[in-house]
Amino acid sequence: MVELKVRDLIKALGLEVLSGEEELGRKLKVADINRPGLVLAGFLQHFDHQRIQVLGTTEFAYLGTLPAEEAWQRWNVLLSLYFPCLIITRGIEIEPTWLEAAREKRIPLLRTPQPTTSFISRLTDFLEERLAPSATIHGVLVDVHGVGVLITGESGIGKSETALELVKRGHRLVADDAVEVIKIGERLSGRAPEVVRHLLEIRGLGILDIRTLFGAGAVRIEQTIHMAIRLEEWQEGKYYDRLGLDEEKVKLLGNEIPGITIPVRPGRNIASIIEVAAMNFRLKLLGHNAALELTRRLAALSLHEGE
């Protein structure tokens, strides 16, 4: 997880700094956001000091209903609490004395012209992505018929060559060699480190720029990971699932996704197998499972013969 600080919000979200320039290094640890209406009303229990505080039209309208001295006191109570930063929405102007109080307390006070609801939605999305659990996986990620397939296996097993063949068949490369996996809610998303984005390494040829060779339609920046396929050298005597009844699972960042182990040996077209595996995955989502259908037919046949 990349360390995120208040200063990272300024450029990303186009915020104006009103005070607290020396405190912009405060760390952001949670994606939750708070509108401190209860604090302004005098209720301080359960205040989460790790959350960004956002003030909009509603909060300032409430303060406007209070006598000037009481509103000033409520403002100072809020400023006395520790939190990463305070963001004012809709470009609301702050009373000079109130702004000076924030400066004296070194509160990172930021402002945006955006409406409160839309800004909170944008801020939440930004925080959830940047604070999401992540890991870098050695493998290849491709988009096959809209299915994100993570291909793993020992070095030299043919992952990149398989990805190249899939690209030639019209599918899209997301990442080669290093896949940055990010957990966003219950979804796993993968992408390539920016420095090697759209590049593919083929032993004997070197580095290939897939976007330049095959066009922009042959690559994509990010893709949800739906299934994992592990390539391994064919081992004589080892059991390999022939019907597809064994449902293998792969755990990534605490999430489980369907997994398949494909043995590699001369004569097997791995790209074709992965292509069909992705199509079969989509069929299963639609409720059709060929292995279960065969099992049902065999059971019905046995029952018929026994009569």
Contact 134, 1 (CB under 8 A): yes
Among candidate residues 11, 46, 242, 304, the one labeled active-site is: 242
Catalytic-residue membership of 138 = yes
Residue of 27, 49, 106, 138 with catalytic role: 138
Alpha helix ranges (H) inside the chain = 7-13, 37-40, 57-64, 68-80, 96-104, 116-130, 159-168, 210-214, 270-285, 290-306
DSSP calls for 40-105: HTT--TT--TTSEEEE-HHHHHHHHTS-HHHHHHHHHHHHHS--S-EEE-TTPPPPHHHHHHHHHT
The rounded distance, in Å, linking the Cα atoms of 142 and 84 is: 39
232 is annotated as contributing to ligand binding: no
Report the SS3 class of residue 138.
strand
Catalytic residue from among 172, 177, 183, 220: 177
Tell me: is residue 273 an annotated ligand-binding position. no
Report the alpha-carbon distance of residue 169 to residue 274 in Å, rounded. 12
Q: Is 155 annotated as a binding residue?
A: yes
- Strands 33-34 and 52-55 come out as parallel
Residue 160 marked as a ligand binder: yes
CB 172 within 8 A of CB 41: no
- On whether 157 is known to bind a ligand per the annotation, the reply is yes
Dihedrals phi, psi of 283, to nearest 5 degrees: -65, -40
Does residue 159 carry a catalytic annotation? yes
Q: In Å, how far are 10, 86, 88, 181 from 111, measured between CA atoms?
A: 9, 8, 5, 33
Active site residue 49: no
Measured distance CA(236)–CA(28) in Å, rounded: 53
Is 156 among the annotated ligand-binding positions?
A: yes
* 159 annotated to bind ligand: yes
C-alpha–C-alpha distance, residues 277 and 269, integer Å: 12
Residues 152, 156, 157, 160, CA torsion sign: positive
Q: Is 29 annotated as a binding residue?
A: no
Residue among 51, 159, 171, 226 flagged as catalytic:
159
Let me know if 177 is a catalytic residue: yes
Annotation-wise, does 92 bind a ligand?
no
Binding-site residue positions: 153-160, 201
Binding-site residue positions for ATP: 153-160
| Catalytic residue numbers, as ranges | 138, 159, 177, 242
Binding-site residue positions for Mg(2+): 160, 201
